[in-house]
Amino acid sequence: MIRRTTLSLLLLTAVALVYGFITVIILPGQTAEAAGGKVTDPLGVAPQRYAYFPGTEELGRDEIRLIACGTGMPSARRSQAATCFLVELGNGDKLLFDIGSGSHANLQGLMIPADFLTKIFLTHLHTDHWGDLTSLWAGGWTAGRTGPLQVWGPSGAREDMGTAYAVKNMLKAYNWDYMTRAAIINPAPGEIKVTEFDYKGVNEVIYQENGVTIRSWPAIHAGDGPISFSLEWNGYKVVIGGDTAPNKWFLEYAKDADLAVHEAFMTSKTFVEKYGQPPQLAARINLTFHTSAQAFGKIMSTVRPRHAVAYHFFNDEDTRYQVYEGIRETYDGPLSMADDNMVWNITRDKITERMVISPDDAWDVPGPNRPLPPDRSRKSEYTKFTLEGRFDTSDVDGVWLKSFMEEYGLTEEDLKGGE
Ligand SMILES: [Zn+2]
Ligand SMILES: [Zn+2]
C-alpha cells in the first residue's frame, strides 16, 4: 500500500515536471488551507488561500459564509466599524445581524445588490448595533432596492424601549428624507417592516423561513431588552451573541454551535489608560454589562463550539494580545479575534478564517430586478417659492440632454416626476 502511494506520487511529480510546473501535492492529513502553495513559474498564478475577494467564489450549497462588517466600539474609527455580521447561506439567503455605525461601508465593499440585503436582525438598540440602518435604508433605496427592509428586533420593558418604537420614530425623524425620495424615486423601498419579538423569550423561534430557524434568548446589558440569536440551517448552528454580561442562557442555548460569536471586552486597564475612563467605570464595564476576556474564555470552555469568535474590542497591536491572553487563561479551543472584514467559511469538515479584500471605491451593483419607476401620483415636495429661485441653464443642459435622450430612448414624459 505504502509502495503504491509512493509510486503514484513519483508518477504525479514526473507528469508535473514534464508539463513544466509542479502542482501542490496534498498529502493525507494536510489541508489545502494550511498553505498558499508554491509559484515556480514566473508566468504562473499564485494559489490564493488567505484572502476572500467578494464576488469571486460561489458559495457551496451546503456551506455558510459569515462576514464581520463591523467589530468595534461606539467611538467611530476608520479601521473598525461597529457591530455587523452578514450570514450568507448556501440556499441563497443573506441575513444581517446588527448594522452598527460605520458598518455599511464594509457591507458595500462586498458589492452585493441591495435587493439581497433586506433582512436585518437586531440584538439591541445601542447605536453601535443599529446606527447604520439609516444608511442601508436610504443607500439601498438609491441603489435600486425594489422592496421594503424587514427588521426583527426585541421588545423592551416598556413600549418606548422596543424595536418597533425605535424604527417608527427613526422613520419619523427621517420624514424629509422619505418624502423627497418617495416623490422622486419610488416610495416602496422606503418602507421598513418590523417584527418585534418578546425579549424575554428563551430559545423561542422568532423567524422560520426557507429552512432557516432563528431563535433568541435574553442578554444582560445596560437594561432590559438586549438578546442573542442562534441561526439553524441544514444541520448547522451559528450563534451571534449580542452585548451582554455572562449569562446562563448563552451557556445553555449556544451549545452545539458550529460557530459561536460572543463579545470580549478590552481589559479594564486599557479602558483607563487608552479610553480615558475612570477606573470605577472601567471595572464595572467588564463586570456588569459586558464580558471580560477571562469570562469569555470560561463561557466558550463550557459551550465548546467548533469555533469561537471574540469581538467588540479595538483590535490594535497593543490591545489585542491583552484580550487574547485573558481568553487563553480559560479557553484553549479554536478562536478568532474578530476584526472588520474577517470572513469564515463553515462546512462539515472545516471552518476557515480569512480576510476580505474589497475595494475602498465600491459602487452599487445592480441586482436581478429592474429599478421601480417613479410614482407619478405623488406630489412634488417643492412649493412655488423654491422653484421660482431656479436659474435657467436649459441652453447648456440642452446640449448634453439631447444626445443623452437619444442614446437611452427617453421621452419628455420620462423627465417628469416629483420635482
Ligand atoms: Zn450595547
Ligand atoms: Zn455594543
The DSSP bridge pattern shows strands 335-337 and 307-311 to be: parallel
Contact 237, 228 (CB under 8 A): no
Q: What is the pLDDT of residue 414?
A: 87
How many domains does one find in the chain?
A: 2
Residue at a domain's end among 355, 374, 401? 355
Residue 372 to residue 418: CA distance in whole angstroms: 14
Residue 188 to residue 182: CA distance in whole angstroms: 8
The ligand that comes nearest to the alpha carbon of residue 83 is: 2
Q: Is a pLDDT exceeding 70 seen at residue 2? A: no
DSSP 282-351: HHHIIIIIS--HHHHHHHHHHH--SEEEEESS---HHHHHHHHHHHHTT--S-EEE--TTEEEEE-SS-E
Q: What is the pLDDT of residue 279?
A: 97
Residue 11 to residue 340: CA distance in whole angstroms: 45
Distance (angstroms) between ligand 2 centre and the Cα of 101 equals: 10
In a domain, 316, yes or no: yes
Q: Is residue 260 domain-shared with residue 303, that is, in the same domain?
A: yes
- Surrounding ion ligand 2 within 5 Å at CB are 128, 243
Contact 203, 155 (CB under 8 A): no
Q: Is residue 241 domain-shared with residue 327, that is, in the same domain?
A: yes
pLDDT band at 45 (very low <50, low <70, confident <90, very high): confident
The DSSP bridge pattern shows strands 351-356 and 51-52 to be: parallel
Contact 202, 224 (CB under 8 A): no
Distance (angstroms) between ligand 1 centre and the Cα of 233 equals: 27
Q: Is residue 94 domain-shared with residue 241, that is, in the same domain?
A: yes
The ligand that comes nearest to the alpha carbon of residue 74 is: 2
Distance (angstroms) between ligand 2 centre and the Cα of 129 equals: 6
Q: Is residue 252 domain-shared with residue 398, that is, in the same domain?
A: no
Lowest mean pLDDT among 20-29, 76-85, 171-180, 211-220: 20-29
Q: What is the pLDDT of residue 419?
A: 53
Q: Is a pLDDT exceeding 90 seen at residue 416? A: no
Q: What is the pLDDT of residue 335?
A: 98
Please compute the mean of the pLDDT values over residues 30-48 and round it to a whole number: 65
In a domain, 27, yes or no: no
Q: Which residues have C-beta within 8 Å of that of residue 90, sequence separation ≥ 6?
A: 59, 60, 61, 62, 63, 64, 234
Distance (angstroms) between ligand 1 centre and the Cα of 87 equals: 21
Q: What is the pLDDT of residue 334?
A: 98
- Residue 44 sits at the vertex; the CA angle it makes with 11 and 34, to the nearest 5 degrees, is 70
Contact 263, 243 (CB under 8 A): yes
Q: Is a pLDDT exceeding 80 seen at residue 385? A: yes
- Surrounding ion ligand 1 within 5 Å at CB are 126, 243
Q: What is the pLDDT of residue 417?
A: 64
Q: pLDDT (tens digit, 9 = 90+) per residue, 229-278? A: 999 999 999 999 999 999 999 999 999 999 999 999 999 999 999 999 99
In a domain, 271, yes or no: yes
Q: Is residue 267 domain-shared with residue 391, that is, in the same domain?
A: no
Half-sphere exposure of 389 (CA within 13 A, CB side): 4
pLDDT band at 178 (very low <50, low <70, confident <90, very high): very high
Distance (angstroms) between ligand 2 centre and the Cα of 265 equals: 10
Please compute the mean of the pLDDT values over residues 357-374 and round it to a whole number: 94
Distance (angstroms) between ligand 2 centre and the Cα of 336 equals: 18
Q: Is a pLDDT exceeding 70 seen at residue 1? A: no
pLDDT band at 16 (very low <50, low <70, confident <90, very high): very low
Q: What is the pLDDT of residue 44?
A: 82
Distance (angstroms) between ligand 1 centre and the Cα of 166 equals: 15
Please compute the mean of the pLDDT values over residues 380-387 and round it to a whole number: 95
In a domain, 282, yes or no: yes
Q: What is the pLDDT of residue 27?
A: 40
**Boundaries of domain holding 225:** 64-355
Using the CB atoms, write b or e for 380-409: b if 16+ within 10 Å. Answer: eeeeeeeeeeeeeeeeeeeeeeeeeeeeee
In a domain, 301, yes or no: yes
In a domain, 121, yes or no: yes
Q: pLDDT (tens digit, 9 = 90+) per residue, 83-142? A: 999 999 999 999 999 999 999 999 999 999 999 999 999 999 999 999 999 999 999 999
Q: Is a pLDDT exceeding 90 seen at residue 190? A: yes
The ligand that comes nearest to the alpha carbon of residue 71 is: 2
Q: Is residue 288 domain-shared with residue 400, that is, in the same domain?
A: no
Report the percent of the chain where pLDDT is more than 90.
84
Q: Is residue 261 domain-shared with residue 406, that is, in the same domain?
A: no
Distance (angstroms) between ligand 1 centre and the Cα of 178 equals: 28
Distance (angstroms) between ligand 2 centre and the Cα of 108 equals: 21
Enter the C-alpha cell of residue 167.
Answer: 424604527
Q: Is residue 267 domain-shared with residue 329, that is, in the same domain?
A: yes
Distance (angstroms) between ligand 2 centre and the Cα of 127 equals: 8
In a domain, 133, yes or no: yes
Distance (angstroms) between ligand 2 centre and the Cα of 339 equals: 14
Q: Is a pLDDT exceeding 70 seen at residue 359? A: yes
Residue holding cell 486599557?
270
Residue 270 to residue 277: CA distance in whole angstroms: 9
The ligand that comes nearest to the alpha carbon of residue 312 is: 2
In a domain, 255, yes or no: yes
Enter the C-alpha cell of residue 261.
Answer: 460569536
Distance (angstroms) between ligand 2 centre and the Cα of 291 equals: 11
Q: Is a pLDDT exceeding 70 seen at residue 336? A: yes
Lowest mean pLDDT among 80-84, 150-154, 155-159, 367-371: 367-371
Global confidence as pTM: 0.90
Between 21 and 180, where is the model more confident? 180
Contact 196, 162 (CB under 8 A): yes
CB atoms within 10 A of CB 68: 27
Q: Is residue 134 domain-shared with residue 181, that is, in the same domain?
A: yes
Please compute the mean of the pLDDT values over residues 289-295 and round it to a whole number: 98
Please compute the mean of the pLDDT values over residues 162-169 and round it to a whole number: 98
Residue 351 to residue 357: CA distance in whole angstroms: 19
Distance (angstroms) between ligand 1 centre and the Cα of 243 equals: 5
Q: Is residue 268 domain-shared with residue 200, that is, in the same domain?
A: yes
3-class secondary structure, 157: coil
Distance (angstroms) between ligand 1 centre and the Cα of 221 equals: 7
CB atoms within 10 A of CB 419: 12
Distance (angstroms) between ligand 1 centre and the Cα of 336 equals: 21
Distance (angstroms) between ligand 1 centre and the Cα of 413 equals: 50
pLDDT band at 14 (very low <50, low <70, confident <90, very high): very low
Q: What is the pLDDT of residue 41?
A: 86
Distance (angstroms) between ligand 2 centre and the Cα of 243 equals: 5
Q: What is the pLDDT of residue 351?
A: 96
Contact 49, 37 (CB under 8 A): yes
- Residue 54 sits at the vertex; the CA angle it makes with 364 and 234, to the nearest 5 degrees, is 110
Q: Is residue 182 domain-shared with residue 318, that is, in the same domain?
A: yes
The ligand that comes nearest to the alpha carbon of residue 221 is: 1
Please give the mean pLDDT across all residues of the chain: 91
Q: What is the pLDDT of residue 29?
A: 37
Residue at a domain's end among 305, 336, 355? 355
Q: Is residue 400 domain-shared with residue 276, that is, in the same domain?
A: no
The ligand that comes nearest to the alpha carbon of residue 101 is: 2
Distance (angstroms) between ligand 2 centre and the Cα of 88 equals: 22
Q: What is the pLDDT of residue 280?
A: 97
Residue 186 to residue 371: CA distance in whole angstroms: 9
